[in-house]
Chain A
Amino acid sequence: MILSPEILAILILDFIFIFFAIIAFILSIKIFLGWDANSTTKKQYRLEKQSFLTAIIIKYIFIVKVPLFLFFIFTLDKMSNVIIGAMCAAGVVDATPYGIYLFIFKIMNLYFFGYWLVIHNEDIKYETQPYTRLKFGIFIGIFFLFIVELILEWLMFSSINIDKMVSCCGTLYSSSSTSSISIIFHINKTLLLSIFYGNFLFIYIFYLLRKKYLFVIANILFILTAISSLIVFFGTYIYELPTHHCPFCFLQSDYYYVGYLIYTLLFIGTFYGIITGFVEKSKGNKIENYKISVIFNFLYVILVSLYPIIFYIKNGVWL
């Protein structure tokens, strides 16, 4: 295992997270089983107080998680200097069998923790706190996902071997490789693009028709189609190189950190999109969640589409 300070820092924070998450977990079970909004017993008052603690813990974990995720990516990038063959974070992710799953779990948990906070904020707006049982029950589920993420993280860091050669994005993201991502390269580009734009169109249509659940599904699919099309097509126009498919490199200064904007827009758009399944309009909020989702997704689509368009205008040809 590479004992670099950055990895140690991440592991320390993981340890703090586990400590607090377990407390939150135990409290969630207690609350889930014993909550009775109408009762006035001492037990209920105690549970009410404990629900505050659980809420703070989850907020804390989420707030630290977000920048930590970025730090995590940068750490992977730094590690690519010592791992043979890896030229950026993508190679490091691929260095172990856990890398890609860890990544998926991390992103998934960002969504889940975010949802919990949304449900929580809705819940405390009402005197009857209608969603309390629900939200703590949900957290019990989230807890397990979180533990899986932490275990994967530990496994990944401890099994990285600097002597083992890894492939970098050149081979990872090509149709000839055998990695799990390579499937998307087998799909015809035009088809992929039409699915992507079509997906967005559906999002817009479902917004107009206010079809909640279809809207949610369209957003979930959008995550997949957006990332696939980003890797296969749009990324190459950001790099202006038909073979450069890496989803990490455009987070760096060479590309004006545009990666952050891209991923943030996508995250916010799909995040709010999926929330609408639960709460269409937050009590007290002027803007519907629908609108936020559509706007951000739209901005995402515009941003990524700009690159090939500008390229074509400048050079007169496609890549």
Chain B
Amino acid sequence: MKNKINIYLIEYAINSILRQKAKNFFIVFVFILLIFLLTSIFFITNSIKYELETTVDSLPQIIVQKIKAGRQYDIDENVVDQLIKIEGVKDVVSRVWGYYYFANTGVNFSIVGLNEYENQYKNSFKKIIQNVELEKGNTSFMVMGQGVQKVLNENYYDKYFNFIRPNGTLKKVNFAGTFDADTELESNDVIVVSKDTFRDIFDMDENKATDIVVKVSNPKEISMIASKIKLIYPDTRVITSDDLKVSYQNIFDYKSGVFLAIFIISLFTFFIIIYDKSSGLTSEEKREIGILKAIGWKIDDVLKEKFYESFIISSFSYIFGVGLSFIYVYIFHAPLLQNIFTGYSQLKTSFELPFIFDIQTLFLVFFLSVPSYIGATIIPSWRIATLEADEVIR
């Protein structure tokens, strides 16, 4: 237990690795590739999770939805007045929003209805309200995200758009501008109109809303106030920001779980290859082991040397793979892979992945790669080490 590290053995192991350049190069190359893919996926999901969690603005603290027979229905506007009376509640805003299916392209737009005089629960919406008038006389206006603008332009709508009401008639809404590129992830497929316009387009009652958003003064009281709301309105579903965070974490875990499953299969194949390659010994290799044993190396010594070799190879691949992944994800922003996780919709976004250092991820990748590789070399190393010296040297 108190042995110092044997530099000569390390040197010998490195020499031994270099003596079989072709085979080892192939192994290292494939291994780095696998680790690179795996780590990149983890880095991307970690960053997206972080991005979502810290964009507090986009996650309302409490959302109240009316549930009837397990489905969501429009909620009464007067619930707002009741909720604001609860102690600890700072602000209550009703939201009208939904999805509009644009049949030509098969794309869904998110439509949000805002009113000037209300407190906006999102800063980005505040900006819009300040700068744009959504109703001027009889004309309605809309502000849209960049993705929306692109799609509409492609369909020859460049000054206005005709929404089709539920009864088949058309509602014309003029373009007033596009969103700031601030919050790309959320805003790309969003159209902002006035609440009246929204109710017009979707034939929604004046005293109804889609859901209600509650802001509390002390974030630590969120779950308590949520349960209070549930008591007052038992026919509602009350979702807290914590719930949202949990479900995000689960979705990402699921997605990365799927990729992990694919990874395992490739890893498994990879190790079969390794096993195969390490088992086959050239006569040259056999001779070398014979020489070592003849000059006094014990089986344990040969095993130790083989272990050093596999440890060096796997650690080197690990460090290199993780390093490359860093560069790919955080400097080049992970082209291609990113799309898989941000949702492969027609309106794609690209955004900067924030850099987070999660040591557990590094350990996770380490455990998945290094011990598995070393495990794959156990039996071949043993076979080599227990060769009879005598036969080999004759």
Contact = CB atoms under 8 A, between A and B. Distances in A.
B234 interface: no
B368 A9 contact: yes
Nearest to B372: A16
B260 interface: yes
A82 B249 CA distance: 8
A52 B304 CA distance: 12
Given A53-B382, A68-B367, A82-B250, A6 B257 contact: no
Interface in A1-49: 2-6, 8-10, 12-13, 16, 20, 49
B336 interface: no
A50 to B, nearest CB: 9
Given A6-B360, A20-B378, A82-B250, A56 B303 contact: yes
A3 B264 CA distance: 14
A64 B367 CA distance: 9
Given A53-B382, A60-B378, A12 B257 contact: no
A170 to B, nearest CB: 16
Contact of A16 (B42, B250, B303, B371): B371
Given A5-B253, A8-B260, A68-B367, A56 B378 contact: yes
A81 interface: yes
Contacts of B260: 5, 8-9
A64 B257 contact: no
A57 B378 contact: yes
B257 A4 contact: yes
Contacts of B250: 2, 82, 162
A5 B364 CA distance: 8
Given A4-B253, A52-B385, A60-B375, A13 B246 contact: no
B363 A3 contact: no
B241 to A, nearest CB: 13
Given A52-B382, A53-B382, A78-B360, A5 B256 contact: yes
A282 B283 CA distance: 40
B363 A64 contact: no
Interface in B328-376: 360, 363-364, 367-368, 371-372, 374-375
Nearest to B303: A56
B371 A13 contact: yes
B323 to A, nearest CB: 20
Interface residues on A, range: 20 to 34
Contacts of B364: 5-6, 9, 71
A71 B253 contact: no
Interface string B313-337: 0000000000000000000000000
B184 to A, nearest CB: 27
Nearest to B254: A3
B386 A49 contact: yes
A16 B275 CA distance: 14
A74 interface: yes
B176 interface: no
A13 B374 CA distance: 12
B368 A12 contact: yes
Interface in B228-284: 246, 249-250, 253-254, 256-257, 260-261, 264
Given A53-B382, A81-B246, A12 B372 contact: yes
B108 to A, nearest CB: 28
A8 B257 contact: yes
Interface string A88-115: 0000000000000000000000000000
A12 B253 CA distance: 16
A16 B42 CA distance: 23
Given A2-B253, A6-B364, A60 B246 contact: no
Contact of A56 (B257, B360, B367, B382): B382
Contacts of B360: 6, 71, 74, 78
B62 to A, nearest CB: 17
Nearest to B369: A9
Contacts of A2: 250, 253
Contacts of B386: 49, 52
A45 B385 CA distance: 14
B128 interface: no
Interface in A173-232: none
B18 interface: no
Interface in B372-391: 372, 374-375, 378-379, 381-382, 385-386
A71 B368 CA distance: 12
Nearest to A17: B375
Contacts of B256: 5
Contacts of B246: 81-82, 162
Contacts of B375: 16, 20, 60
B42 A5 contact: yes
A60 B374 contact: yes
Contacts of A49: 386
Contacts of B378: 20, 53, 56-57, 60
Contacts of B291: none
B151 interface: no
Interface of A: 2-6, 8-10, 12-13, 16, 20, 49, 52-53, 56-57, 60, 64, 67-68, 71, 74, 78, 81-82, 124, 162
8 contacts: A4-B257, A9-B368, A10-B367, A52-B385, A56-B382, A68-B367, A71-B367, A82-B246
Chain A to chain B: the 6 pairs with minimum beta-carbon distance, closest first? A3-B257, A49-B386, A4-B253, A64-B371, A53-B382, A9-B368
